[in-house]
Amino acid sequence: MEAAYNFDGYRRLSIRKIYKKEVSFSTGSKVFSATIENLSRDGALLGTRNISKIKTGSMIIISIPFANKQGCVKSKAIVMWAENDKLGIQFI
């Protein structure tokens, strides 16, 4: 069984690392910009000014740039929570 880590009251299976990168994500036909604040293999914390347009439970597609080289990886994720100017997402 994997260890669980607590972070601000949330249980996580993976430790998140600081990863300050600009990203884009889409939901439906709309594209938004955000900043990844932290990242793990299971999810991420995003900061965005478009929070009012994103609902908990929404599926998004996010493009995450590689840290040390050109290119990016695209992944599907679910918005687990949205509060103030932050989104918690879980990769699927």
38-79 per-position pLDDT tens digit: 999 899 999 988 777 788 999 999 999 887 878 889 999 999
What the block records as the tokens of 40 is: 């793990």
d(CA 87, CA 85): 7
Specify the pTM: 0.80
Say if residues 13 and 62 touch (Cβ distance below 8 Å): no
d(CA 19, CA 46): 10
SS3 70: coil
Give 16's Cβ-side CA count (13 Å radius).
22
Percent of the chain with pLDDT over 70: 86
DSSP-derived secondary structure letter, 36:
E
What are the structural domains, with CATH classification, of the chain? 17-91 (2.40.10.220)
